[in-house]
Amino acid sequence: MTELRTRKPTGRVPWPLILIEGGEKSGKSWACAQFSTSPRIGQMYWIDLGEGAADEYGAIPGADYLVVEHDGTWGQIQESVVAVKAEAQRAADADEPPVVLVIDSMTAEWDMLKDWASDKARRRHNAKAKRYNRPQLAADDEPTISMDLWNEAGTRHRRLMTTLMTFPGIVVVTARGKEVAALDEAGRPIERQRDYRVEGHKTLGFDVSCWIRLDRSKPGTVIGVRSAHVGIRPGYDQPLELAADWSIERIVFDTLRCSPVARDLVALQPAEPDTDEQPGLSAAVTGLLEDLGQAVDEAGLRRVWRAAGQAQKDSRISPAEGAHFEARWKARKHELFPPEQTETEMAG
């Protein structure tokens, strides 16, 4: 039996993860560059993802930050964030002013992951079409992105956010936001009604500790904040209007009253590793698993199940691989359909 471990809360305010979002030319990147002039912070690192403001805003009087170079690939961007986090930890251990990381923007980050999923779906489709002598997707055809690819894109985003949420310093991320047509439950536009949408992963607003919205035509607002010192009760209090001379520096040190401690967030661990990439799997079972990932209805699941059964009869996959595939097939079935549907119904 696991021993219960507890502790009293410290009450200390951790370094924040701040989201600054808004429409075009509302001052999101400018506010980040201006923050670099603060004497209360250490080195600022700026990762520019599709915005292009990092070099130009270096001309702001007193601006002092380093642009992190990358080749645009997900792996190098994630590695850069990890490297900045390591430097932030070194500075924290040396009792130096906090390192600041800016990512401009998280809209581009999620767009990149969606494009990655789309590209991989296209390559999967065309490889399968070639294997079965079927038409391939044209350049302007949109591929169907299967659930496993959406899950992988979400996993990559979650890995980045976990790094940011445990960053031993200050993190500021930007995103685009805009008003869109309100939709009813059937997806139809509601006449004369508008909603506001932050363009990025759907959990972005949940993960940040402070959410600021900027607008070109009216004062900015603090939409939400996780703080014992700033009271915004959802459903009761209106968002806090920012003063004309607001700054990220004042938000961090005066409003939130931050003290030098990283958030004590334990990253959740998966129950088991992804077995799709186990070494030694034959090409036959690998192809079956790819087909399984693209199955989105009962007919697709039945088709892949029958193909797996035939592959076992033909000795193209081993009994162990057959058992591995069956476990993945059941997991896919439960992902797509209610648990009360039996395997007999699905495989019949």
* Per-residue pLDDT, 346: 39
- pLDDT tier for residue 1 given thresholds of 50, 70 and 90: low
Kindly report, residue by residue over 192-214, the tens digit of the pLDDT. 788 888 999 999 999 999 999 99
Mean pLDDT score across all residues of the chain: 84
Whether the predicted pLDDT of 262 surpasses 60 = no
- Alpha carbons 147 and 293: distance in angstroms, whole number: 7
Kindly report, residue by residue over 15-64, the tens digit of the pLDDT. 999 999 999 999 999 999 999 999 999 999 999 998 889 999 999 999 99
Number of alpha carbons in the 13 Å side-chain half-sphere of residue 278: 16
What fold is seen in the domain 17-113+146-255? Rossmann fold (3.40.50)
Q: Which residue has the higher pLDDT, 149 or 296?
A: 149
213 bridge partner residues: 21, 221
Whether the predicted pLDDT of 278 surpasses 60 = no
Q: Which residue has the higher pLDDT, 129 or 221?
A: 221
Kindly report, residue by residue over 222-247, the tens digit of the pLDDT. 988 887 777 666 666 777 899 999 99
Average pLDDT value for residue range 176-199 = 81
Average pLDDT value for residue range 301-314 = 86
Rounded to a whole number of angstroms, the CA Rg of the chain reads: 24
Domain ranges of the chain: 17-113+146-255, 275-347
Q: At what angle do helices 283-294 and 298-313 cross, to 10 degrees?
A: 170
Nearest to 251 by CA among 38, 52, 99: 38
Among residues of the chain, what percentage have pLDDT more than 90? 44
Number of alpha carbons in the 13 Å side-chain half-sphere of residue 165: 19
For residue 255, give the DSSP letter: I
For residue 264, give the DSSP letter: -
* Extended strands (E) in the chain: 17-22, 44-48, 65-67, 100-104, 170-183, 189-199, 210-214, 221-225, 240-241
Average pLDDT value for residue range 81-102 = 95
* Per-residue pLDDT, 44: 98
* Per-residue pLDDT, 19: 97
* Per-residue pLDDT, 311: 85
